[in-house]
Structure 1
Amino acid sequence: MELNSIGLPTGQSRELAKDLNVLLANFQTYYQNLRGIHWNIRGKGFFDLHAKFEELYNDANLKVDLLAERILTLGETPKHTFEAYMKTSSVPVGENISKDETAIRLIVDSLKELLIIERRILLASAEADDEGTNAMMSDFITEQEKTVWMMKAWLAEKV
């Protein structure tokens, strides 16, 4: 079996990098959604939501960088054009969203898509004995599940 420079099976690393590129594309869409709702939110909850959305987009921006660096660590090239992201992303695109409930639902729906992809990567990275990717996915999942719970609480809905 051929191993890459970090001691992982080359073929499995290549496949993981492809999956991570899918996640990267989805995170870029999620990030843009967060920027849009941060800019356009209106209403009595403006101050709280404006700050929360900024917190979320800053976190998403960090995760985008972590994903790109992990793809590079696995020996592959991260996607880096909006065209590539839009061809690959399954996260819903939100446009001109200014209502609080619509914005929160977009976040919940987006995180659901991200979590589905992350769980798939988590299983594949465990199979490849890729602890670096596995730990990253585990951390992302833990944080995002909590965010979903909080957003659903804001909506007065159960997870």
Structure 2
Amino acid sequence: MKNLTTIFIPLFLLMIFNSCEKDEEIDKEKPTINLTIQDAFPLSCDTIYFGESFELKALFSDNVELGSFSIDIHNNFDHHSHSTEVTECNLDPIKSPVTPFLFINDYDIPTGLKQYETNLEINIPLSNENGIFDDGDYHFFISLTDKEGWSEQKGLSIKMLHR
């Protein structure tokens, strides 16, 4: 019996140590949204026009791997703010929306990238089935998520106008 114990205890310990996975480095950093690159658009206080398209230009980075991003454009007729805004723009008087524009869309970033510069063309329609969109103050909200699930947001105050 003593011989069996001498064999099984080391064998049991060897099995336990080999079954433990090696700890991989854990991603603890949020990705970054860089709007200081050349030709970045939109920036706070920029104007976007109904019935036209524009190119979203931003640089996304992460220490391990990027995942996806989303764009949310919504009215700011009540002058609410997002905690990411640092620039104050000239706001129109507070008003009630009649036919506000709303745009929410998600985009995947190609797999394996630590850095990604957007070249996304976004078309802004003039109207919808309810009529011509209300012009005025809007928010352009960018949310970036890395593969691990960390996210960073950037809220911009913009004007959306008819030419």
TM-score range normalised by the length of the shorter chain: under 0.3
Query: More helix by proportion, 1 or 2?
Result: 1
Query: More strand by proportion, 1 or 2?
Result: 2
TM-score between both structures, scaled by the size of structure 2 = 0.21
Q: Which has the larger radius of gyration?
A: 2
